[in-house]
């Protein structure tokens, strides 16, 4: 993706067209496939009750995640301030998804405040804990601290598709193909205590990492594809 972003340069029209095209492809891949949901009861209940939570998924599984989300429920995705992050943000905006710009190295404090404000207002947030640059499928502790400070649970999720392309990028980005047999997998909620100390934060970081790897592997296995491994 980085090389493509560099070629796009500062061409605003071309970037806008690309984002619209990717959004169209997501709709096509979803509409033409047969998709099932595994373990979505907790998310459904929280949506029904209007309770916020933190959606967690790996960076390499971004593409189809707008389709796991209930239409009309506000969510704010954490997106990096790099140019590829802008492309992702503009793409998901086609699905009514808001974004928060920031990462460990740029805009992190502002992003944290914005996410906490959204959660306090009863709106959800989405985080890729191995983004924006990896290592692949290794969670940072940022998502755990957001959960600790907000009191909101983390729900891990992933998608898999029987027809797919795995890009040779750092995150092994998965592109679901049209006419695929697809699956969305949700994991159990992870609650982080408000009084968790440094050891506790590391414990829950590990839980998030293991849970995300588990739902991602299950999504691949249920669609008959070779699981993508961590870096």
Asked whether the predicted pLDDT for residue 157 surpasses 70, the reply is yes
CB 170 within 8 Å of CB 136: yes
Report d(CA 76, CA 131) in Å as an integer. 15
Specify the pTM. 0.93
List the domain boundaries for the chain: 2-222
pLDDT tens for residues 196-225? 999 999 999 999 999 999 999 999 999 999
Residue 167 CB-half CA count within 13 A:
18
Beta-carbon count within 10 A of 122 CB:
11
3-state secondary structure of 63: coil
Report d(CA 27, CA 66) in Å as an integer. 9
Report d(CA 143, CA 127) in Å as an integer. 7
Q: For position 107, what pLDDT does the model report?
A: 59
Architecture of domain 2-222: 3-Layer(aba) Sandwich (3.40)
Q: For position 43, what pLDDT does the model report?
A: 98
pLDDT tens for residues 37-71? 999 999 999 999 999 999 999 999 999 999 999 99
């Amino acid at each position: 993706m980085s090389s493509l972003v560099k070629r796009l340069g500062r061409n605003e029209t071309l970037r806008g067209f690309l984002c619209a095209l990717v959004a169209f492809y997501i709709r096509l891949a979803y509409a033409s496939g047969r998709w099932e949901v595994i373990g979505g009861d907790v998310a459904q209940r929280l949506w029904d009750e209007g309770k916020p939570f933190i959606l967690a998924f790996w960076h390499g599984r971004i593409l189809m995640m707008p389709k796991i989300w209930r239409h009309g429920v506000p969510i704010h995705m954490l997106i990096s301030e790099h140019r590829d992050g802008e492309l992702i943000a503009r793409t998901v905006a086609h699905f009514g998804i808001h974004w928060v710009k920031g990462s460990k190295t740029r805009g992190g404090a502002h992003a944290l405040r914005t996410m906490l404000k959204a959660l306090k207002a009863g709106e959800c947030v989405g985080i890729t804990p191995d983004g924006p640059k990896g290592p692949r499928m290794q969670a940072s502790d940022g998502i755990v601290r957001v959960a600790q400070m907000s009191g909101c649970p983390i729900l891990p999720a992933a998608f898999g598709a029987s027809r797919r392309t795995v890009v040779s990028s750092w995150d092994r980005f998965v592109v679901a193909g049209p006419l695929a047999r697809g699956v969305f997998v949700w994991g159990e909620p992870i609650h982080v205590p408000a009084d968790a100390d440094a050891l506790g934060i590391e414990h829950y970081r590990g839980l998030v990492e293991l849970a995300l790897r588990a739902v991602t592997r299950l999504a691949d296995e249920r669609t008959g594809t070779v699981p993508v491994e961590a870096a």
